Amino acid sequence: MQAMSGNSGQRSGSSKRKRDLDELLKRAIDQDDIYIALALHPVMDAAGRNELESVLFATRKRRRQLSSAPFTPASVLARMARLAADTNFKARLARHPATPLETLRELVSDNDSEPLAAIAAHGNATADLLAGLKWRGSAAVQKALCGNPNTGREILAEIVAEGPLELLKEIAKHPNADAIMLRDLRARGDRYLRGEVAANKHCPADIQEMAEKDEEALVRRMLASNPAAQIERLVRLLNDPAPQVRAASVRNLLLPPEEVGKLSDDPSRQVRRSGAQRAGLTTTLIEHLSTDEDHWVRRRVARNRTTPEDILRRLAVNDTAEVRRAVARNPACPVGLLQKLARDPNSWVRAGVAFRDDLSEPILLELAEENDADILTGIGQNPMTPLRIVKRIAEHSDKDIRRSVILNNQAPLVVLKMLLDDPYPLNRVILARHPALTEAEHNRLIDDPEPQVRFTATQMLVRISFEMISAESSNMKSKRAE
């Protein structure tokens, strides 16, 4: 906990915060509530943590559950690592994505290959930790190291020297694989290995050259997806006989948009679809693609933010409902056109309109009268929906429609209060994170029968408490500066 400062404002804020935390701590202990205890643990001092741990670690079953629960905080995992006796338990902790680096270091044991493999794969393991792991003799550790983007070049080079083909493929796509390694790898494997080498951003020019001429379309496709490919090469690949290679080249953002025009009449719809979603296309090309026989191509043009208004207007009357919906979901769609789409005969198109926050009130009100679940969900989630409509949606019998109000970040507190007693537990879990809820609502939610709700409400109460201290501290500083 923060030490109290000399000024009275901060002292009163700190005192309140301490009282709040003490109250929550007491509640966690008295009610033997592991969820409140979990949410509190990261912010408590050593004494408070010890008290909470009497609840959290009371039984073997609880420790086991916490070692793999996705919401277990790093502070709890760190303490549990010191209690870890058996290999399975250590492996669970090492697999947990929130386990911090220092705890991973503590879990390293040369004899247990299962935890070691989990550490080798862990996103929080740094290059120096990974460099110290014993990998020889364990295929699982080697594989994990090859798949971890933090593994350094030196280890990769050692594994390359003796690793099986399966691992070479992992190394070939590793961000720390260098040109020398990739050149060596290319000579040692099958088409899949050559493909991974060709796609690696460190792939040297001579290997790219060979990949461009490779007889396997897979290798050429991977080359076309290389984020560091030469533009001239990408342009040449647009003439490749294999459509998947041309499509990959079109998707590569290094390819200048003006080059995409060459594929406007490509026989492969896969290629035309890839082109239709690119930004910066010429108006002539967009125009051309907007009449494509494939509706996915037209959909992508309709959703493309750079599509001109007149083309959007034409697509808004397209025979395919999905194309019209894509126009409605396009942020560049003008308000006037949205009004037209709001009266589309297809409810899926009107639902697309309902999510727009630039709708006029009359249109919102018109859509709010519908019974369709997708439309009402859009209206409930729309920050521009008038209060009386939001209230009505919050009282809907369908739990998914009510949830749309909870997902609306602009929903007023008066409506959110109506949902504190929502019978659907997931709705209350999401509600507990709503930014408009105050301390009073969170204090009510920590009595909720659903554990996730209590956990989140406690986290929010802790956050509010810290924000209060921080605001008071800033105010005092401003006053002193005056």
Which residues contact other proteins (rule: CB under 8 A)? 60-61, 64-65, 68, 88, 92, 166, 169, 173, 192-193, 195-196, 218, 222, 399, 421, 423-425, 448-449
Q: Which residue's structure tokens are 């019978």? A: 423
Using CA atoms, how far apart are residues 251 and 278, in angstroms rounded to an integer?
Answer: 8
What's the longest Cα–Cα distance across the chain?
77
Of 268, 317, 309, nearest to 291 by C-alpha is 317
Smaller CB distance to other proteins: residue 257 or 425? 425
Smaller CB distance to other proteins: residue 90 or 303? 90
Least gap, CB of 368 to other proteins (angstroms): 25
Q: Which residue's structure tokens are 């007889």? A: 215
Using CA atoms, how far apart are residues 102 and 234, in angstroms rounded to an integer?
Answer: 45
Smaller CB distance to other proteins: residue 19 or 399? 399
Least gap, CB of 373 to other proteins (angstroms): 14
Q: How many helices (H) and strands (E) does the chain have?
A: 34, 0
Q: Measured between alpha carbons, how far is residue 2 from residues 9, 43, 470 in Å?
A: 14, 10, 11
Least gap, CB of 223 to other proteins (angstroms): 13
Cα Rg of the chain (Å, integer): 29
Using CA atoms, how far apart are residues 219 and 199, in angstroms rounded to an integer?
Answer: 8
Smaller CB distance to other proteins: residue 90 or 92? 92
Smaller CB distance to other proteins: residue 218 or 469? 218
Q: Which residue's structure tokens are 């991977």? A: 222
Smaller CB distance to other proteins: residue 234 or 248? 248
Smaller CB distance to other proteins: residue 172 or 405? 172
Contacts of 6 (CB under 8 A, 6+ apart): none
Angle at 421 between CA 416 and CA 424, to 5 degrees: 100
Least gap, CB of 235 to other proteins (angstroms): 24
Smaller CB distance to other proteins: residue 69 or 476? 69
Least gap, CB of 242 to other proteins (angstroms): 13
Angle at 43 between CA 41 and CA 47, to 5 degrees: 65
Q: Measured between alpha carbons, how far is residue 351 from residues 58, 69, 326, 336, 367 in Å?
A: 50, 37, 11, 17, 8
Least gap, CB of 287 to other proteins (angstroms): 34
Amino acid present at 74: A
Using CA atoms, how far apart are residues 462 and 310, in angstroms rounded to an integer?
Answer: 52
Smaller CB distance to other proteins: residue 65 or 438? 65
Least gap, CB of 118 to other proteins (angstroms): 12
Q: Which residue's structure tokens are 């000399």? A: 6
Least gap, CB of 168 to other proteins (angstroms): 10
Taken in order 394, 396, 397, 400, the sign of the CA dihedral is negative
Least gap, CB of 65 to other proteins (angstroms): 8
Least gap, CB of 7 to other proteins (angstroms): 42
Q: Measured between alpha carbons, how far is residue 226 from residues 231, 257, 419 in Å?
A: 11, 17, 49
Of 423, 434, 428, nearest to 454 by C-alpha is 428
Q: Which residue's structure tokens are 């493909």? A: 195
Smaller CB distance to other proteins: residue 169 or 186? 169
